[in-house]
Amino acid sequence: MKRKPLHNIYSKDILRKKLESETFRRTTVSFYKYVILEDPQALRNALYRNWDDLGVLGRIYIAREGINAQLCVPEHNFQSFRDSIDSIPEFKNVPFKIALEENSPSFLKLDIRVRSKIVADGLEEDSFDVANVGTHLNAEEFNHKLGSPNTVLVDVRNHYESEIGHFEGAILPQSDTFREELPLIVDLLQDKKDKEIVMYCTGGIRCEKASAYLKHHGFHNVYQLHGGIISYASEVKEKGLESKFKGKNFVFDGRLQEAIGQEILSECHQCNNKSDRHVNCANPGCHILFIQCESCSEKFSGCCSEECKSIISLPVSEQKKLRKGKIVSNQHFSKSRIRPKIFELYKGN
């Protein structure tokens, strides 16, 4: 009997049609764990076989240092999925973070990749004790800390995440990547080693590394929001606490964001009117992530510029010629850097 392939074999159009035809609901969940895995590749293959049979979709990174997973699971298979996690000794009882809302499909396919690290931090292995992390705070404890004048609050996310939503009063490092942010945070906090440093991120995983990194650099009073913004939002709702988070939480799946506060903190990158609507440029040769209001979306046909708008009006064959040899990946609009023609990425200038 021929075994099923251990990777996706369908086009985006087919995957989208399959998703649209589903008659059941899905639950979006994320989890991570730093734990030594002896054979990441073998584990990857076993997980793919099991989760593909359960209809799980998502993006999962596995490395020798652990696992980082964002998935959406058919509701009728959720317990079987939970059981599959608990059957692996290294992952037994790992906490799940459940999304608050489902306003659009979060994933189209199951994608499990083996990497050198589960979060790219640019740091040498064994350069510091990654297990020496900050003190974890639940939502109530976190809110209490925010009321103290001795607290310095730090957002451990990229600029395009904090732009649409953050805790009021937080330091918002203007970095494009986590690897850029770690040394930047140390520099920003050099004169605050006598303060209580409280950190937060999307789901908690980046704070695990960041808090240990700060402690390595001589910070002693380091705290982190347990489970990140995702768990905070759920706990606040469950316990009836006051939410200190303003705006939307950026998420790394097809939804791009989920509403936590009602405020709109950011502006359209094209007209500067209030907007928190993240989109990718409709020109596949650009695909830059940026904030675009509905009016500019209509004006620019979902593109970031007139140049990209003119390109998507060309025949598909001509568009492919323009894209040939160009690599477009993880590009984000950044006001923190000077780029004369920031959106003309596909031209290779």
> Where do we find the tokens 């004048």?
149
Please check whether residue 247 is in contact with residue 166, taking contact to mean a CB–CB distance below 8 angstroms. yes
The DSSP string of 85-103 is HHTSGGGTTPPPEE-S--S
CA-nearest of 50, 104, 45 to 72 is 104
- CB under 8 Å to 52, separation ≥6 — which residues? 4, 110
- Rounded distance between C-alpha atoms, residue 227 and residue 137, angstroms: 9
Q: Which of 201, 296, 303, 304 is catalytic?
A: 201
- Rounded distance between C-alpha atoms, residue 152 and residue 12, angstroms: 44
CA-nearest of 225, 238, 70, 104 to 153 is 225
CA-nearest of 196, 224, 221 to 210 is 224
Residue 178: both structure tokens together: 């986590």
Please check whether residue 343 is in contact with residue 270, taking contact to mean a CB–CB distance below 8 angstroms. no
Phi, psi of 114 (to 5 degrees): -90, 130
Exposure pattern of 150-165 as b/e (b: 16+ CB <10 Å)? ebbbbbbbbbbbbbbb
- CB under 8 Å to 142, separation ≥6 — which residues? 198, 200, 225, 232, 244
- Rounded distance between C-alpha atoms, residue 175 and residue 288, angstroms: 16
Please check whether residue 334 is in contact with residue 180, taking contact to mean a CB–CB distance below 8 angstroms. no
Phi, psi of 10 (to 5 degrees): -105, 155
Question: Computed over its alpha carbons, how large is the radius of gyration of the chain?
Answer: 21
CA-nearest of 330, 340, 343 to 180 is 330
Q: Is 296 a catalytic residue?
A: no
Catalytic residue annotation: 201
